[in-house]
A and B are shown apart, each in its own frame.
Chain A
Amino acid sequence: MEVSSECQLQIRLITKQGLYAVPDVPLSVPQTIDTKSLNDLVNQLLKEANPEFLKPKDFDFIVIGELLRVPLIEHLQERSVSTEVTVEIEYIERTPAPEPEDSLLHDDWVCGVQTADKWILTGCYDHSVNIWTTHGKIVTSLKQHTNFVKAVAWIDKSDPSKGFVSVSHDLTGIIWSIEPGTDKIVPEAILRGHERGVDSVGVSPNASRLATGGWDTNLKLWSASLEEDEPALKRSRGGNAALVKTPLHTLKGHKEAISSINWLDNHVVCTASMDHTIKFWDAELMGIKSEIVGQKAFLSSSWSHLSNALLATSADRHIRLYDPRSSEGAVCKTTFTSHQLWVGSVTWCGYDQHLFLSGGYDAAVKLWDARSPRAPLYNLQGHQGQVLSVDWSNDKYMVSGGSDNSVHIFKNKHV
């Protein structure tokens, strides 16, 4: 690359954060300017505009829709953009690095994690479902399952008192409820109907229905309500034992195990499967709405309600961003590559449409910006083995569980 360092580029700095606005004038900067120099430049400009702006801030720069990670000229040349015109550079306040908060030690691998408010729900390979506080105190450990607990989910993330659900390789799922007044947690209903291990569970946004899927390739829909007037409910043997529920609907369509379930809204379920497909089901009409065919077995997926895009991980080291609405071109919009091994789980951030979290079998948890496909924003280190589950349900905490028998909590300083 024969770029002389004297060459200048015309740039224009823009931002959507009014707090950090700088005069909208084209600036001439060296071609090889990188993020750090730009950062200094913006801080300098801010200081000139506002003398009270004392504490320098860190900014990230977005050029042509992607975060700047290399010198500007290389970034432009990679995308074959002319250097003759004025380059618009949008800058945003840099996402601050998450801080490791705590590590919750379990007896066995942790496969399912979900937070709600200050409670962290974990499913463990020692057949237990545990609730921890965000401060690392164990609240309770429930051993009702007879096999690995593969996934857990709060019925209502905003209101943990409504209970939660866990699914296991013992072919059942259990809806747990918290008895009002006390902290006692009892299994409210047992979801019985799967023929093979259940791998994933999803709760509809209105908390009325559950969807589970597993190795028997069927998607099963359940009612999340605990009213006893529903048919086919019966008390299992023993007085205080839970109800046994049967699925409202069984949706067949996948050829192999369903590995991940997301509710798009109250009527649409999205399932990712090992048979290389992602299917969108209509939960009202009980049929397949649409389908995305991939190249490899899907391991995990996450739907963003903010950007209406689907993140999915396959049996490879990439995370793929799908836009199911796009009709022309590839459905796969972006591929995020940084993990070394399979990516076991992925989840969107709840408040920013660009941020998401991923955990891989290479023991790495990575915080990504969707505009930076080459490199993540941060690597969250701490795990010793495969990361099996990540969660960012509570905006303040990024939680991950893995095969090192621990759950790591990272505090998000952005919120």
Chain B
Amino acid sequence: MGNKQKTEKNLKRRIVKETAKLESESDQSDEEDFLNVVNNEEADSSDGDEEIEDSEDENNEFTEEESEADSDVLSAGGGEEEDADEESEDIDDSEDEEIDEESEKDESASDQEDESSGEEELQNESDKVKTKPKKGSAIEKTSDSSVEKTLNKSKTTIDSASIANVFHEYDHDTSDEEDIRNTVGNVPMNWYDEYKHLGYDWDGNQIIKPETGDQLDAFLKKMEDPDFWRTVKDPQTGQNVVLSDQDIELIKRIKAQKIPDVTFDEYAPWIEWFTSEVEQMPLRKFPEHKRSFLPSRHEAKQVSKLVHALKMGWIKTRAEQAALRAKKEPEFYMLWQTDDGAEDMRRIHKHISAPKRLLPGHAESYNPPPEYLFDAKEIKQWNKLKNAPWKRKLHFVPQKFDSLRKVPAYPRFIKERFLRCLDLYLCPRAIKMKLNIEPESLVPKLPSPKDLQPFPNVLAIEYKGHTDMVRSISTDKSGQFLLSGSDDCTVKVWEVNTGRCVKTIVTDSVVRSVEWCPNAALSLVLVASGQEVMLINPNVGDFVVSSKTDSVLREVPKSDAAVPERVRTTVQWAEPDEARYDRGVRISLQHFKEVTQVTWHGKGDYFASVMPDGQNRSVIISQISRRRSQLPFTKSKGLVQCVLFHPTKPCLFVATQRHVRIYDLVKQTLLKKLLTNSKWISTMAVHPGGDNLLVGTYDRKMLWFDLDLSTKPYQTLRLHGTAVRGVAFHRRYPLFASGSDDRSLIVSHGMVYNDLLQNPLIVPLKRLQDHDDFNDFGIFGVHFHPLQPWLFSSGADGTIKLYSN
């Protein structure tokens, strides 16, 4: 219900009261009436005026109330009333205390109005009013005092005052808002257009619409009634209401857009309770502490923590959070956790939850099936294990009871719980970080031999003809011919592709070492036979080359330089006689000890020969073009096993029993000493690049030295079961091979990279075992075809075998 309705209602009420008062001409103030209206339920039925009753229900009611109120007020003064509401009590209290002040005010008020009041009742009323806003007080006073004297006038004023009063007093009384006379509620009143009545009153009686005259009546009324213009119709009740002067005033003010309250002073002086001005001086007397000007270390720490956390992504900015939220897909989770999943502990990392207790089985039942109950034998067994209870299958004897009720308390309960607690307490509850290394994972990942094709893997041709062990083999530069030297004192030249022996050269002694001259312009092979080293022209291939070689060698250079004594006693150059010349021998060098190995320098002019028994004269380097020999070493470093020229640099590798020394031939200095860590070196081969050396030893090992890397072996290969007697590198393909006394020939992939940072890749590829053993010897010579990925091996069985890819 809006304010408008409220006012209307109040207006109506007032009008009713006015009429009632006019009729009864009672002296009582309306204020009391209103108080009593509120408290009407407890009011006794008292002297109600019959005259009022017959006029209208509503009026009747009100008049009743008024009368009741009268009695109330009277009784209130005596304090007899039982259920007086709080407010009235308060008023009563204040009454006694503030009498003096009020009377003073009253006096002043009455002075203004030229009226005085001596009656207690009125004073009481005014007192009540006084507790309310002051603005109304003057009016109230006047109204109170004027009640008796000027009826009409005073009534209106009292009314207005009382309205104000009532409004404030019953501000929260919502019943006031409803139209208490008509009970139909807030329904459109046009629903009652067809009926005589207009809703129902509290007693359920119809509220009869007032008689409305025709237009003539209205006109007459207009003419006659001076208040016609201020008569309005109450839509709720259908009654005509005459507006009071004050109402008119109020309406006028509202229309004029003024403040409806006449008494409100718009232009009262402004009291500034809270100043709007900014004060210049602080309120505190003492100055700011120095600390307050220094940046807070604690805060800085907090900030840095936050910044760090932001940086590490532990906390997110709002934008990031929003982005995350936007990105996040709906999360699903198990409604119930499974038993087997490890439960998450917030603080313990990788927490192991306590093991779950086993669920009780049938044996634990109070009424187990009979097969679970112990028979005599089981009881005996149980008793036997008394001293070793952990060996028992069950830790208790199953018992049978008729009912659960008869089950006694379990005597070991506390103890078992305690033991379990102990178990849990002593159990290590974190996952132990144990490093499991599979042995396979330690083996380096090597490429599959399939990917390293081509390499020799199939026996293709056997070269048969030698009758004794073939100690050494070599090929010519084009790979057309194969040279072999054997213990049957012959050197044979073979056609590689067919296995045909092209030439056999008989020598005087066991041939221990042969090598084809690396210079393609010379048709020469170097043969170490007994104490003699021979340069033989095999006279195969290009006859121009071989004839040229013959002519070159025929011219013996004359040199005046005297041969040193030491050299002369070691080696003697000789021209072969006729018979040997026909056999192909062109130059013969007679050594003082048995020569076990000869090797060419890469250019084919120098060659070196090794006499292990020669002590400090065991290595001789000879030069064909000048027919000259020299002894590079003056001191014996040990039993020299093998020497090799560096393929590109003027260096000499000298292998003694235990070490390999590398000498610079130009500077005549020791460059490096390689530590083999083995007892007896048998042979060695140098990689065509010159930076890698392969050493075979009698103690079954093969050592790969990366000369740039270290003086220790880069890799030690234990592929053979017995002494390694031959090793070789392929000149073109990344292959190397080794032959040993266990008759096996092992082909390996040995890739050397130009990149200094990358170590050589060594992959054993294939074991070939075709030679027969003879006197516990297996394979002696190992040699690769210069162009094809083919491998030759010579064995103690007198054969040479070719393996092709």
Q: A-side interface residues toward B, CB under 8 Å?
A: 109, 111, 125, 148, 170-171, 195-197, 215-216, 256-257, 259, 274-275, 295-297, 299, 315-317, 341-342, 344, 361, 386, 388, 403
Contacts and interface: CB of A to CB of B under 8 A. Distances in A.
A196 to B, nearest CB: 5
Nearest to A199: B497
Given A296-B805, A315-B805, A215 B460 contact: no
Given A171-B543, A215-B541, A257-B480, A109 B500 contact: yes
Given A195-B544, A386-B498, 13 more contacts: A109-B498, A111-B498, A125-B500, A148-B500, A171-B543, A196-B542, A215-B480, A274-B788, A295-B454, A296-B454, A316-B458, A341-B461, A344-B498
Interface residues of B, number: 20
8 contacts: A109-B500, A171-B542, A196-B480, A197-B541, A256-B478, A257-B480, A297-B788, A403-B500
B483 to A, nearest CB: 16
B481 to A, nearest CB: 10
Most chain B CB within a 10 A radius of its CB, from A111, A216, A341: A341
Nearest to A344: B498
Interface in B778-792: 787-788, 790
B726 interface: no
Interface string B531-570: 0000000000111100000000000000000000000000
A342 B499 CA distance: 12
Contacts of B454: 295-296
A173 to B, nearest CB: 15
A contact patch SS: loop
B804 interface: yes
A403 B498 contact: yes
A147 to B, nearest CB: 9
Given A257-B480, A315-B804, A195 B498 contact: no
A409 B543 CA distance: 36
Contacts of A259: 497
Ranked nearest first, the 5 interchain pairs of A and B with the lowest CB-CB distance are A315-B804, A215-B480, A195-B542, A196-B542, A297-B788
Interface in B489-523: 497-500
Interface string B28-40: 0000000000000
A256 B790 CA distance: 15
Interface string B198-232: 00000000000000000000000000000000000
Contacts of A215: 478, 480, 541
Contacts, number: 61
Contacts of B788: 274, 297, 315
Interface string B297-324: 0000000000000000000000000000
B280 to A, nearest CB: 99
A41 B541 CA distance: 61
A274 B454 CA distance: 15
Contacts of A197: 480, 541
Given A171-B542, A196-B541, A295-B454, A256 B804 contact: no
B790 A315 contact: yes
Contacts of B787: 256, 274-275
A316 B542 contact: no
Contacts of A342: 460-461, 804
Interface in B756-805: 787-788, 790, 804-805
Nearest to B788: A297
B478 A257 contact: yes
A259 B495 CA distance: 14
Nearest to A217: B478
B498 A388 contact: yes
B499 to A, nearest CB: 7
Contacts of B542: 171, 195-196, 216
A125 B494 CA distance: 13
Contacts of B480: 196-197, 215, 257
A171 B539 CA distance: 13
B692 to A, nearest CB: 26
Contacts of B498: 109, 111, 344, 386, 388, 403
B161 to A, nearest CB: 117
Contacts of A109: 498, 500
Nearest to A296: B805
B500 A316 contact: no
Given A196-B478, A316-B805, A341 B541 contact: no
Contact of A361 (B460, B478, B479, B543): B460
A170 B544 CA distance: 11
B793 to A, nearest CB: 17
B478 A386 contact: no
A57 to B, nearest CB: 41
A386 B479 CA distance: 20
A296 B805 CA distance: 8
A361 B479 CA distance: 19
A125 B500 CA distance: 9
Contacts of B461: 341-342, 361
Most chain A CB within a 10 A radius of its CB, from B461, B497, B499, B542: B497
A187 to B, nearest CB: 18
A108 to B, nearest CB: 9
Nearest to A315: B804
A386 B499 contact: yes
Contact of A341 (B460, B500, B544, B790): B460
A170 B547 CA distance: 13
A170 B805 contact: no
A342 B804 CA distance: 9
Contacts of B497: 259, 299
Contacts of B541: 196-197, 215
A125 B498 CA distance: 11
Contacts of B790: 315
A274 B498 CA distance: 13
B543 A170 contact: yes
Contact of A315 (B460, B543, B544): B460
A280 to B, nearest CB: 23
B788 to A, nearest CB: 6
Contacts of A170: 543
A259 B498 CA distance: 12
Most chain B CB within a 10 A radius of its CB, from A111, A170, A361: A361
Contacts of A317: 458
A329 to B, nearest CB: 21
A315 B479 CA distance: 14
A359 to B, nearest CB: 12
Contacts of A275: 787
A125 B502 CA distance: 10
A111 B499 CA distance: 13
A148 B494 CA distance: 13
Contacts of A299: 497
A33 B393 CA distance: 67
A156 B541 CA distance: 30
A367 B114 CA distance: 160
Nearest to A341: B460
A299 B496 CA distance: 12
A122 B498 CA distance: 17
Nearest to A316: B804
Most chain B CB within a 10 A radius of its CB, from A148, A197, A315, A403: A315
A320 to B, nearest CB: 15
Contacts of B478: 196, 215, 256-257
Contacts of B479: 256, 274
Contacts of A315: 460, 788, 790, 804-805
Interface string B457-489: 010110000000000000000111000000000
Nearest to A275: B787
B784 to A, nearest CB: 14
A8 B499 CA distance: 53
A315 B789 CA distance: 11
A361 B804 CA distance: 13
Nearest to B499: A386
Contacts of B543: 170-171
B416 to A, nearest CB: 62
